[in-house]
Amino acid sequence: MTIYAVKECFLTLQGEGMQSGSRAVFLRFAGCNLWSGREQDRADAQCNFCDTHFVGTDGEGGGKFRSAGELAEHVERLWGEGNERRLVVITGGEPMLQLDEALVECLHERGFRVAVETNGTLPATAGIDWICVSPKAGTEVVQRSGDELKLVWPQQGIDPVELEGWAFNHFLIQPMDCERGDEARAAAIKLAMDRPQWRLSLQTHKVVGLA
Ligand code: SF4
């Protein structure tokens, strides 16, 4: 029996990327393959600039779900009335550790478009409607195609010019949320100005005070 561990799940507006501003159920799976989520492990983790809490199942709308149908029902309940433009954004942690075809199917049956935000180190599950890959320096990205590539910037060890050859429809550059945020914003703006293939992406949910 598949058990899905969900850190949190709630109705909001998608904050980042090309679908920013869209009503969506946001489903954050627990766990990541690039960091344990414990502060004492951060310095040695493959990804060490994470700004999300993905450990455990104790967040708003989180919990353990015993089947794809049960989790899809939870998502549907959070969406509420109305069948139009149903969207679920599945993230983590790393969503590909848990998202399987059965869950994608159950969400489709309920009329949801399924979007994911992944670090790209695991192949995307079949049937996903919108794939956003956010590569992390020093990792082997196997998912090199999709809808949007969202590069958190700056990251030493990643060359954006190389990424331009990957098969994505949109290339987004997003300033890193860190202590040196001003420098990160300036670096992201510079890249978008120098290389027009890239668009600036902002974390609009933080600007407007949404989770
Ligand atoms: S890959 Fe994503 S979820 Fe995992 S540690 Fe990095 S930023 Fe956090």
Residue (of 138, 203, 137, 124) closest to 168 by Cα position: 124
State pLDDT tens for residues 64-109: 999 999 999 999 999 999 989 999 999 999 999 999 999 999 999 9
**Distance (Å, whole) CA 200 – CA 205:** 15
What was the pLDDT predicted at 129?
98
Measured from the CA of 37, which atom of ligand 1 is nearest? Answer: 5
Residue type, 80: G
User: Checking DSSP bridges between strand 130-133 and strand 113-118, what pairing results, if any?
Assistant: parallel
Q: What is the DSSP letter of 75?
A: H
Best residue among 48, 50, 53 to mutate for probing ligand 1's pocket (most ligand atoms within 8 Å of CB) is: 50
**Distance (Å, whole) CA 71 – CA 55:** 18
- The answer to whether residue 50 is catalytic is yes
Measured from the CA of 92, which atom of ligand 1 is nearest? Answer: 3
For ligand 1, atom 7, the nearest C-alpha belongs to 50
pTM of the model: 0.95
Is any atom of ligand 1 closer than 6 Å to the C-beta of 35?
yes
Q: How many CB atoms lie within 10 A of CB 194?
A: 9
What was the pLDDT predicted at 177?
86
Structure tokens at 112: 């949801």
pLDDT by residue, tens only, the chain of 211 residues: 789 999 999 999 999 999 999 999 999 999 999 999 999 999 999 998 898 999 999 999 999 999 999 999 999 999 999 989 999 999 999 999 999 999 999 999 999 999 999 999 999 999 999 999 999 999 999 999 999 999 999 999 999 999 999 999 999 999 998 888 899 999 999 999 999 999 999 988 887 788 7
What was the pLDDT predicted at 51?
85
* Catalytically annotated residue among 16, 94, 117, 148: 117
What was the pLDDT predicted at 165?
96
Q: Are 28 and 9 in contact (CB under 8 A)?
A: yes
For ligand 1, atom 8, the nearest C-alpha belongs to 50
Is any atom of ligand 1 closer than 6 Å to the C-beta of 52?
yes
